[in-house]
Chain A
Amino acid sequence: MRRTRTGPRDLSREPEPQQPGRILDARLHLLDRQVLDIDDLPVCTLDDLELEVAGGEPADRVPAEDGRIDGSVPVVISALLTGPVLGTRVFGGRPPASRWYRLPWAHVSDVGTVVHLSVRSAGLDATWLERWTRDHVVGRIPGGTHDPEGSG
């Protein structure tokens, strides 16, 4: 292992140039944050991020021969992921892509202490279990649709 000189005045590290947009670190600002829909209803926790080669690039810049991506092509977040990817983040491994619940990055309206979406959670795949529980378990118990804040 090559040891690096360390400390706050580490001359081996160049100062980071100013970036043209807002900076987000995946673990610090995105992963494991609560995702809320347009009505502030919780959707899920952000379990993982899907990364893709930025669209609109010339085809010859995509190293397609073994599907491997590297630093020569720009990569962007294409979607927020939730669902079984939580299990694999905890225990390792990787679920097949068909098991991901994808929330496209284009639907993200704001990233703060929570991630806001610009769509309603009712139509999302990520919340099907919530809807199933509502329709088949909780909704069938008398009083399940009673509003506790309405009338005592």
Chain B
Amino acid sequence: MKSRLLTVALGILTAIGGFLDAGDLVTNAVVGSRFGLSLAWVVGVGVVGICVFAHMSGKVAAVSGRATFEIIRERLGPRTAGLNLVASLAVTVLTLIAEVGGIALALQLASSVDHRLWVPVAALAVWLVLWRVKFDVMENVTGLLGLALVGFAVAVFLLGPDWGDLGAQLVPQVPAQESAAVYWYFAIALFGAAMTPYEVFFFSSGGVEDRWTVRDLATSRLNVLVGFPLGGLLSVAIAACAALVLLPAGIQVDSMSQLTLPVAQAGGTLLVAVVIVGLVAATFGAALETALSTGYTLSQYLGWSWGKFRRPAAAPRFHLAMILALVVAIGVLMTNVDPIAVTEYSVVFSAVALPLTYLPILVVANDPEYMGEHVNGRAMNVLGTVYLFVLVVAALAAIPLMIATEAGG
């Protein structure tokens, strides 16, 4: 019993720590420094969405033993699924680039060594972990270290804001100096940051890696339902830090180093150090997840042997795909592209790519042939349908808004 409690606690803690990635960090800071907390509601919408989505894909993985992209191929056929594969792979590799760049930027904060020098080191470290380390060790270590981002929440308290004032900001409204189109563009970016497709690929394939069965469903549900909302609260805490310190100072966030300034003001050197550890762990964990997701999607579409639980020699093409993805990430980052800009684009394209991934999961979660008695209940289906609409609207609006607002300019 005690060990079970420990497992649940560990699962929740890793879910909190694993929720945040470079996309969440950057987007929340940017939004906080421009819009205050007036977009915090989007984080709520995104968190409920990722809970619904992750829960369904986890359930499908546990009951049928099929991971998300196998389902996508089975249901949509090779042509539509192939299109989805191209889109998802592009977004996932873009996110991987952002995460590897994020590791490098976070390491730069602790070392003052230029981030471009850290990129190959970070990518090599990611590969070594993928190559050698056991799946649950990898998941738990990065998740627990990522918990250090709680430093942002601590910072909000230490800053001692006028809580009534901060609460009043939570009301959705377009600030006077920003246009409605820009507001909605960033709403979609925040939504895409909370609900990235790779999280779902990782979550469902991870369920297969951990050999989930129907009995593990309750645990997985608890991890998701408790861990992700708490992770979402951390996102809001980052936005709040930016809103309390950077917004009044007229600072627009365009680098990761600016994230540490509110923390320094609130908690001093020690808290900054804690947050930097959190930044490295969160981006590193997300880099692992996105790299794995490139391997998962490709292998599952083409029916290759995959999984970290297998020896690399037993899943050679899966490992080769991940190596190539990391090489691409290094190559792109070496062109001197700004990782923050890559991150900002990746979250918007995430929103575009989501519906094609979401729909097959929703369909299969209702299919008794796969799910037996575990098909979606009525409440889950109502939520699922509501989110299907939200996702489609966000996906259709994302690119026009990006063009109209010159990517939030």
**The 4 A-B residue pairs with the shortest CB-CB distance in the complex, in nearest-first order:** A45-B303, A138-B316, A133-B316, A134-B316
Residues of A within 8 A of B305 (CB): 41-42, 130
Residues of A within 8 A of B312 (CB): 138, 141, 143-146
Of B78-86, B110-118, B234-242, B285-293, the one touching chain A = B78-86
B345 at the interface (CB under 8 A from A): no
Q: Assess the B74–A32 pair: CB atoms within 8 A.
A: yes
Q: Assess the A134–B313 pair: CB atoms within 8 A.
A: yes
Query: In whole Å, how far is B91's beta carbon from the nearest beta carbon of chain A?
Result: 20
Residues of B within 8 A of A42 (CB): 299, 303-306
Q: Specify the chain A residue showing the minimal Cβ separation from B75.
A: A32
B6 at the interface (CB under 8 A from A): no
Q: Assess the A148–B303 pair: CB atoms within 8 A.
A: no
Q: Assess the A113–B66 pair: CB atoms within 8 A.
A: yes
B5 at the interface (CB under 8 A from A): no
- Per the bound structure, the CA–CA distance linking A139 and B299 in Å amounts to 18
B residues 279-320 touching A (CB-CB < 8 Å): 299-306, 308-314, 316-317, 319-320
- Per the bound structure, the CA–CA distance linking A139 and B305 in Å amounts to 15
> Given A113-B64, A130-B316, A138-B316 in contact, is the A32-B311 Cβ separation under 8 Å?
no
Residues of A within 8 A of B302 (CB): 44-45, 86
Partner of A148, one of B66, B77, B308, B369: B308
Q: Size range of the interface on B? A: 35 or more
Partner of A86, one of B78, B133, B300: B78
Residues of A within 8 A of B64 (CB): 113
Q: Assess the A148–B311 pair: CB atoms within 8 A.
A: yes
Partner of B317, one of A33, A133, A152: A133
Residues of B within 8 A of A147 (CB): 311
A90 at the interface (CB under 8 A from B): yes
Q: Which of A27, A34, A35, A47 is most buried by chain B, counting CB atoms within 10 A of its CB?
A: A34
A residues 86-139 touching B (CB-CB < 8 Å): 86, 89-90, 113-114, 129-130, 133-134, 137-139
B216 at the interface (CB under 8 A from A): no
Residues of A within 8 A of B134 (CB): 148-149, 152
Partner of B316, one of A43, A86, A137, A149: A137
Residues of B within 8 A of A141 (CB): 131, 312
- Per the bound structure, the CA–CA distance linking A141 and B320 in Å amounts to 11
> Given A33-B74, A34-B303, A130-B304 in contact, is the A152-B137 Cβ separation under 8 Å?
yes
Query: In whole Å, how far is B126's beta carbon from the nearest beta carbon of chain A?
Result: 15
Q: Assess the A143–B78 pair: CB atoms within 8 A.
A: no
Residues of A within 8 A of B73 (CB): 32, 45
Q: Assess the B303–A43 pair: CB atoms within 8 A.
A: yes
Query: In whole Å, how far is B401's beta carbon from the nearest beta carbon of chain A?
Result: 31
Q: Specify the chain B residue showing the minimal Cβ separation from A145.
A: B313
Partner of A138, one of B78, B301, B320: B320
Residues of A within 8 A of B66 (CB): 34, 113-114
Residues of B within 8 A of A32 (CB): 73-74, 77-78, 81
Q: Which of B305, B306, B370 is most buried by chain A, counting CB atoms within 10 A of its CB?
A: B305
- Per the bound structure, the CA–CA distance linking A134 and B66 in Å amounts to 24
Residues of A within 8 A of B317 (CB): 129-130, 133
- Per the bound structure, the CA–CA distance linking A47 and B73 in Å amounts to 10
- Per the bound structure, the CA–CA distance linking A33 and B300 in Å amounts to 10
Q: Specify the chain A residue showing the minimal Cβ separation from B308.
A: A148
Q: Assess the B306–A148 pair: CB atoms within 8 A.
A: no
